[in-house]
Amino acid sequence: MTNFARLRNILSHNEILVDLLHRARELGLPHWYFAAGCVVQTVWNVLDGREAARGIKDYDLVYHDAADLGWAAEDRAIRAAASACEDLPVEVEVRNEARVHLWYEAKFGLPCPPYPSTEAAIDAFPARCSCVGVRLEPDGTWHFHAPNGLDDLFAMVVRPNPVLAPRAVYEAKAQRWLTQWPRLRVLPWPLTSR
């Protein structure tokens, strides 16, 4: 079984995520993925023998639409997703990755160049194991983006990805994750990075 087949098999255990994949496909958002938390945490739950959806708070639906960088357009996408998912017991956080550079520095203290694609945004997530996205194509096939592969994810290794996010963001996420998955192996931030 390939790593991506294994990932699909594991993610299929999270019925909420599978349902969300189908619903998101109908929203018509450009270049969308469910990414990071809901993907990674589903894997860790299954590997730990827990219920697949246990404790997952962040179902991040990311997309890229550079045609309209105004807040109103992103807000319409947020409201459409909220309406489509209102019967589910989770919150879906929607973000247009084409807009991140407009607010990132004010929030994290570092400039962020505009992302040319959703994939480029996923590539910059703070932990390499969380640089993973999944979506359903119109024909129903699962499409994955995982620039760093899946070895760390399956080994429960949290390795820094100092492409953009500051050290404090990585360390806060890692500490939060350790409280739920204590057998994670968290690697330190490289000394040469910010």
Tens-digit pLDDT profile for residues 118-145: 999 999 999 999 999 999 999 999 999 9
Domain coverage including residue 57: 3-186
Q: Extract the runs of DSSP E, i.e. beta strands, from 58-105.
A: 59-63, 92-96
Assigned domain for 194 exists: no
Q: Which two tokens stand for residue 140?
A: 């129903």
pLDDT the model gives residue 109: 87
* Tens-place pLDDT, residues 47-96: 999 999 999 977 999 999 999 999 999 999 999 999 999 999 999 999 99
Confidence of residue 194 (pLDDT cuts 50, 70, 90): low
Assigned domain for 56 exists: yes
The answer to whether 176 and 149 are in contact (CB under 8 A) is: no
Burial of 165 (0-12, 13-18, 19+ CB in 10 A): buried
Q: What is the mean pLDDT of residues 167-173?
A: 92
Assigned domain for 157 exists: yes
Residue 193 pLDDT > 60, yes or no?
no
Q: Which amino acid is at 179?
A: T
Assigned domain for 101 exists: yes
